[in-house]
């Protein structure tokens, strides 16, 4: 009888350890799948502001660190009537949450509530540390939606037209067109405006 109880307990331990291992593997596999989807170039609304002026649109590109990577570097370029501003960042995915750490730490954010596929990446940008104070973002895949004729977009109350491989028509493309932060407010993400 004692031998049977001992063997049952051993089996429970083995099953428990296998379950934990499978959960860890499935979480890693899920993160790698998200990493493969998010890698690449997107455009649309990242809820960016320059003082009280909302960005006309944003381009964002995620560069993975190798195949199946769950981290890498990235660039976000936000377009305003007066010009464009570039922001460099690092990204990583942990338990399905995409963490973005910018060179300008005021823009740090996390994306936990989202949907992503080969066409769209949309959901809510949250505070980096608490995952609270969420604001909406909506992006489209650059290569799938930007054909040789460009892409017309009419959100944020004004129409403008993208031409693939070029900057926005009618919008400056030189970051020096934006005054320095001593003259104007810094760029801020909508989630950070909510906190103020």
pLDDT tens column, 3-50: 565 655 565 555 554 444 444 444 568 999 999 999 999 999 999 999
Whether 176 shows a pLDDT value over 50: the answer reads no
Full-model pTM:
0.70
One-letter-per-residue 3-state SS of the chain:
CHHHHHHHHHHHHHHHHHHHHHHHHHHHHHHHHHHHHHCEEEEEECCEEECCEECCEEEEEEEECCCCCCEEEEEEEEEECCEEEEEEEEEEEECCEEEEEECCHHHCEEEEEEEECCCEEEEEEEECCCCCCCEEEEEEEHHHHCECCEEEECCCCCCEEECCCCCCCCCCCCHHHCCCCCCCCCEEEHHHHHHC
Portion of the chain with pLDDT greater than 70, in percent: 63
Whether 154 shows a pLDDT value over 90: the answer reads no
- Ordered domains of the chain (ranges, CATH): 38-195 (2.40.128.120)
pLDDT tens column, 50-75: 988 889 889 999 999 977 789 999 99
When pLDDT is averaged across residues 103-129 and rounded to a whole number, the result is 92
């Amino acid at each position: 009888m004692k031998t049977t109880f001992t063997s049952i307990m051993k089996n429970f331990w083995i099953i428990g350890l296998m379950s934990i291992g499978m959960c860890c593997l499935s979480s890693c596999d899920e993160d790698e799948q998200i990493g493969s989807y998010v890698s690449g170039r997107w455009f649309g609304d990242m809820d960016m502001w320059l003082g009280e002026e909302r960005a006309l649109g944003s381009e964002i590109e995620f560069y993975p660190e190798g195949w199946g990577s769950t981290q890498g570097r990235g660039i976000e370029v936000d377009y305003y009537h007066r010009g464009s501003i570039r922001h460099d960042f690092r990204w990583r995915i942990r338990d399905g949450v995409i963490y973005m750490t910018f060179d300008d730490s005021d823009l740090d954010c996390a994306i936990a509530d989202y949907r992503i596929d080969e066409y769209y990446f949309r959901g809510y940008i949250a505070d980096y540390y608490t995952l609270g104070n969420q604001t909406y973002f909506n992006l489209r895949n650059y290569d799938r939606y930007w054909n040789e004729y460009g892409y017309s977009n009419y959100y944020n109350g004004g129409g403008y037209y993208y031409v693939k491989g070029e900057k926005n028509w009618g919008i400056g493309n030189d970051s020096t067109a934006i005054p320095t932060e001593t003259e104007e407010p810094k760029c801020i993400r909508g989630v950070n405006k909510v906190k103020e």
